A = this chain, B = another copy of it.
Amino acid sequence: MNNLSNQPCMIARSLALVGDAWSMLIMRDAHAGLTRFDEFRKSLGIAPTMLTARLAALTEDGLLVKRRYSERPPRDEYVLTAAGQDFLPVLFAIGAWGRKHRSSDGVTRFFDAETGSEIDPITIDRATGAPIGTRPIRIVAPE
């Protein structure tokens, strides 16, 4: 795609980084606990060239960090940064949408890793607590 990162809209700017399915799925797997090249490759069935490129891009953009976990032999893994962890609501919103509009047989479910309770994500307005999507909105870009 073209020059998304130069646009004023935050959505467009963000999509420049994660606006493709592979990146989103890598983020999903990273949140599920995967860290290593081969774990991602096997989980996603992605060509290694693609995976190398995506991991490098996500690292470059600060969603992942490359961490050396073995000196001999040299081995690196990819772990979520704080910005990467903050990406989870996006995945949840997508999952919640799919659950509502695309579920037929089984659905992917989310659980709190510690308490074990199931999570049912919903996006609301922080101030009023009103769910997003129930009222018409106006999007305003600067400049």
Q: A31–B138 Cα gap in the complex (Å)?
A: 8
A15 touches B (CB below 8 Å): yes
Contacts of A11 in B (CB 8 A): 24-25, 28, 91, 94-95, 98, 108
Which of A88, A114, A118, A143 has the largest number of chain B CB atoms within 10 A?
A: A88
Residue tally, chain A, CB below 8 Å to B: 78
A93 touches B (CB below 8 Å): yes
Residue of B nearest to A87 (CB): B97
Query: Which among B31, B88, B139 is the interface contact of A31 at CB below 8 angstroms?
Result: B139
Contacts of A31 in B (CB 8 A): 137, 139
- Let me know if A112 and B89 touch, CB within 8 A: no
- Let me know if B110 and A139 touch, CB within 8 A: yes
- Let me know if A85 and B137 touch, CB within 8 A: no
Enumerate 8 A-B pairs (CB-CB under 8 Å) in ascending A order: A2-B45, A11-B25, A11-B94, A14-B97, A31-B137, A89-B132, A110-B139, A112-B137
